[in-house]
Chain A
Amino acid sequence: MAEFSTSIKENGDIRIINLKGYLDAHTAPTLENNFTELINNSKFKIIVNFEELAYISSAGLGVFMAYIENIRDNKGDIKLTNMSDKVFNIFDLLGFPLLYEIYKNEEEAIKKFSGS
């Protein structure tokens, strides 16, 4: 079975979700639970680090679509970082760069949150 796991670290009021492994229709609920928990705890400034993510399907992409509106309504955002070319290409194919801010690394995304 494909492995997928997440870990969350804190940076001030920002929460950083690290993704690891394979994000598909089977594993997407793990990430959904992370977002639900952060929203329930009023943590709306969220960075998702893709560095260790090997694979994503549309079921994984759908997770970002499902929560972004609620998060932005609460003056937060989901910013994406450290994507491999392979993963970025899938986001790009679906037009996600129009709707989401994608940065090279966490530092850039943190700066953006601090500046706003």
Chain B
Amino acid sequence: MSVRSKNKAGELRVKSKTENLSEIRDFVSTNASAAGIASASIDNIILAVDEACTNIINHAYKLSPQGEIIIKIDYDEEKFTITIIDYGKSFEPDRIPFPDLRKYYREHKVGGLGMYLMKSLMDDVEYITVPGKYNQVLLSKKIKSG
């Protein structure tokens, strides 16, 4: 039986400012490349993480630039996982309905699009919230062998 090695690829801590989104994307890109993920999947992972962090900046921290966002990456041969932690307002994803684009269009509402993209682009999206303490979102993608 082989012992699967788990790589703790890294951690990035940034303030909740949209100007940090490019640094976040670069961090994810570098680590996903190192994990041997195909470039089309890397693009999807980068976008999913951008969407998660944009939601945190807009909703958890309500655009206050002093909040902290922690992004941790780890992976093994099978799975690439990004854990994103914030200490802002709790998020209740069950309350976000499946997006009806025509309705959004009429109501000028776009907030749920990022959520839908994250779910479409990743294999798994999981929220853990400890109200008043922290919120954590786990995004994971299977790594295809070969």
Given contacts A65-B104, A65-B108, contact A26 B18 (CB under 8 A): yes
Question: Is chain A's interface secondary structure helix, strand, loop, or mixed overall?
Answer: helix
- The reply to whether B25 and A69 form a contact with Cβ atoms under 8 Å apart is no
User: Among B51, B102, B108, which residue has its beta carbon within 8 angstroms of that of A57?
Assistant: B51
B120 at interface by CB-CB < 8 Å: yes
Considering only residues 29-62 of chain A, those with a C-beta below 8 Å from chain B are 55, 57-59, 61-62
Considering only residues 40-71 of chain B, those with a C-beta below 8 Å from chain A are 40, 43, 46-47, 50-51, 54, 57-58
Given contacts A2-B25, A26-B19, A61-B113, contact A94 B50 (CB under 8 A): no
A8 at interface by CB-CB < 8 Å: no
Considering only residues 51-91 of chain A, those with a C-beta below 8 Å from chain B are 55, 57-59, 61-62, 65-66, 68-69, 86, 90
- The reply to whether B54 and A58 form a contact with Cβ atoms under 8 Å apart is yes
Contact residues in B for A2 (Cβ distance below 8 Å): 21-22, 25
In the assembled complex, 22 residue pairs joining A and B whose CB atoms fall closer than 8 Å, in A order, are A1-B19, A1-B22, A24-B21, A24-B50, A25-B50, A25-B57, A25-B58, A26-B18, A26-B19, A55-B47, A57-B50, A58-B51, A59-B110, A69-B105, A86-B40, A90-B117, A93-B120, A93-B121, A95-B101, A96-B101, A98-B102, A99-B105
B27 at interface by CB-CB < 8 Å: no
Interface residues of A (CB under 8 A from B): 1-2, 22, 24-26, 55, 57-59, 61-62, 65-66, 68-69, 86, 90, 93-96, 98-99
User: Among B43, B46, B57, B117, which residue has its beta carbon within 8 angstroms of that of A94?
Assistant: B117
Nearest to B121 among chain A residues (CB) is: A93
Q: How far is the CA of A45 from the CA of B139 in the complex (A)?
A: 40
User: Among B19, B40, B117, which residue has its beta carbon within 8 angstroms of that of A58?
Assistant: B117
- The reply to whether A62 and B113 form a contact with Cβ atoms under 8 Å apart is yes
B116 at interface by CB-CB < 8 Å: yes
Contact residues in A for B117 (Cβ distance below 8 Å): 57-58, 90, 93-94
A21 to chain B, nearest CB (A): 10
Return the 4 tightest CB-CB contacts between A and B, nearest first.
Answer: A2-B22, A62-B110, A26-B18, A58-B113
Nearest to A4 among chain B residues (CB) is: B22
B114 at interface by CB-CB < 8 Å: yes
